[in-house]
Amino acid sequence: MKSIPVLLMGCGGVGRQLLEHVVNCRALHSRQGVVLRMVGVCDSRSLLVVDDVATKGMKDSFLMEICRAKSSGSSLASLLSLGQCQIFKDSEMMDKIIDIAGHLGRSTGLAVVDCSASSETVSILKQAVGLGCCIVLANKKPLTCGIEAYEKLISNFRCIRFESTVGAGLPVIASVNRVLASGDPIYHIVGSLSGTLGYVMSEVEAGKLFSKVVQEAKSLGFTEPDPRDDLSGMDVARKALILARLLGRRINLNDIKVDSLYPDELGPNSMSTEDFLSSGLSSVDRDFQEKVRAASLKGKVLRYVCMIEGSRCEVGLQELPKDSPLGRLRGSDNVVEIYSRCYKDSPLVIQGAGAGNDTTAAGVLADIIDLQDLFQ
C-alpha cells in the first residue's frame, strides 16, 4: 500500500469538504493501493500535528471532529483535549510546517495542500517546494503573485497540481497541459469562469433586472457576502492569469484589463454592502438592459468572460453568438473554449459545474491522488 503524507492548510468550506472526501474514499483508495495519511491540519491561527509524522496519521474519527469543530466556529485548539495531536500557534506554526516539510520532503515525500484563501501561504509553499515536497492548490493567490515568486513555485512542475484554482473539478488545467505537451500551440482561450456571473448573465438575458438577479444569487448562496467581490471580476482575472501564465505569458495581475460590473462610485470605499444591495445596484439596471438589448439586435448574447489571445488578456462583458458554447450557457456552469492548430475550426470545449465546495474539494483530492507516483 502506497502512503501519501498530507498536510492541509485551510479549514474553511473547501478544506473541511476535502477531509470528508478523504474519509469517505478510504475503501476506493484502498482498492487502488493508496492511503492518504493526514499528518497535520492548520487554520490561520494554529496547527494540529500527529506526534510522529513519519509513521502516523490522524484517525478518521478525529478528522470528522475537526470538520464539526470548524463548522461550528470553534478553534482547532478546542480539539487538543482529545489527545491525538500536538498544537503549534502563530510563528511556531509556520516553523513547524517547514520542519515537517524538511523531514518528509526528501524521505517519504509530503503533499502540502493549500485550501486557504490567503496570500500569506506563498512563502511556506516556496520553501516546501525547495525541500522536495509536492504542493496541491485550491487557493488561487499563490499562483497570481509576482512573476518571480510564481516561477519559483512552479520550478518543479511535476510536483505541483492546481486544477481546482480555475475550474473547481473541471479538467481545464489538465486539458491545456495535454494540448501544449503534444506540441499543438494554443493561440486563443475564452471562458466563463465564474459560476456566479454565469448565473447572473443568463438570468439577465431572460429578461430579469440585473439588481434583482444579483439579490437572488446572494440569497441562493452563489455570491460572496458582499456580491461586489464577484461583480468586480477580480476572481475571474486571477483565473485568467493562471491560464495565461500556463501559455507562457510572463504577466502580472495588473497587466490584465478588468471590467467591473459596477462603477467606482458604488465600490466598497464609497458605500456599505447594505446600501449597495438596497439602492446602488438598481442604478445600473437601465444600462444593463440597454447592453442586453443591443447584443440581442445583433443576434448575440452578453457573457462575462476571460479572453486570452496573443499578448491580450482581458476580463469583462463580451457579445457572443447565441449558438456558441458560451452563448448557450445557462445557470452557474463554467465553459471554456480552447483554440489551437488542431482545435481551430471546432474548439476543445470543457463545460460543467465549476463552483462549490464539494466540486472544488473533489478536484483537490483527484490532484493529490494524481501525484501518487512521486511517493515511495
**Helical spans, DSSP H, in the chain:** 13-24, 26-31, 60-71, 90-105, 122-130, 147-153, 164-167, 172-181, 195-205, 210-219, 228-231, 234-246, 273-275, 285-297, 357-370
Pick the catalytic residue: 239, 300, 322, 344?
Answer: 239
Question: Which three three-digit cell numbers place residue 1?
Answer: 500500500
Cβ atoms of 160 and 142 within 8 Å: the answer is no
Question: Which three three-digit cell numbers place residue 242?
Answer: 493562471
Please tell me whether 313 is known to bind a ligand.
Answer: no
Q: Tally the C-alpha atoms within 13 A of residue 226's C-alpha that lie toward its C-beta.
A: 15
Question: Which three three-digit cell numbers place residue 209?
Answer: 433586472
**Beta-carbon contacts of residue 226 (< 8 Å; ≥ 6 apart):** 268, 273, 276
Please tell me whether 140 is known to bind a ligand.
Answer: yes
DSSP 70-133: HHTT--GGGGGGG-SEEEEEHHHHHHHHHHHHHHHHTTT--EEEE-S--STTHHHHHHHHHTT-
**Amino acid in position 77:** A
**Beta-carbon contacts of residue 187 (< 8 Å; ≥ 6 apart):** 309, 310, 339, 340
Please tell me whether 198 is known to bind a ligand.
Answer: no
Please tell me whether 292 is known to bind a ligand.
Answer: no
CA distances from 193 to 165, 172, 307, 359 (A): 10, 10, 11, 14
Please tell me whether 10 is known to bind a ligand.
Answer: yes
Q: In whole angstroms, what is the distance from residue 66 CA to residue 50 CA?
A: 14
Q: In whole angstroms, what is the distance from residue 254 CA to residue 288 CA?
A: 26
298 part of the active site: no
Please tell me whether 15 is known to bind a ligand.
Answer: yes
Please tell me whether 12 is known to bind a ligand.
Answer: yes
Length of the chain: 376
Please tell me whether 212 is known to bind a ligand.
Answer: no
Annotated catalytic sites, by residue? 239
Binding residues for NADPH: 140
Binding residues: 10-15, 140, 224
Binding residues for NADP(+): 10-15
